[in-house]
Amino acid sequence: MADRERPDPAHVRPDGVSDATVEAVGKLSEALETVEQARGHLYGFHQLMGRADRQVGEAAELSRAAGHEALAERVRRELVGRNVAEGRWTFQLVEEFDDGYWSELRALDADVRDALVAGRRHLYESESKEARRTRGRSGHESRPGREG
């Protein structure tokens, strides 16, 4: 039980690391978390636009079947398969984002953690948890118990 009252060593700041450093590293990791959320929205956008493109194609087919040949052809010609950005479908936006900004931020976050806090993750949050939890109370343990 005593182990559950202390943070995992991977979540304890190394000796000599200042509060300001923990805060700075934590802020970069927070930015990465925000970008991860944005990335999820980008993938959602990608999927929604793919669905919309198929729906536009279906609308064109239904219009054609209803006898509206000219309008159906216009919808098909102008919208079906159209780029959402200059020369790009959404899969290309996703790939550019993943290969560029997202990958660079992930690498920099890891490099900063390695350089400043021995690679440890979530130190800011771990210290917040320790400051806020009620020691000795069930449901407020510092970490999971050992299975045995």
The string of pLDDT tens digits covering residues 57-73 is: 999 999 999 999 999 99
In a domain, 97, yes or no: yes
Number of domains in the chain: 1
The whole domain housing 51 covers 2-132
pLDDT of residue 3: 81
Whole-prediction pTM = 0.85
Dmax over Cα atoms in the chain, in whole Å? 77
CA–CA separation, 82 and 93 (whole Å): 14
In a domain, 40, yes or no: yes
Question: pLDDT (tens digit, 9 = 90+) per residue, 110-121?
Answer: 999 999 999 999
In a domain, 43, yes or no: yes
CA–CA separation, 69 and 92 (whole Å): 32
Residues 7-11, mean pLDDT to the nearest whole number? 92
In a domain, 145, yes or no: no
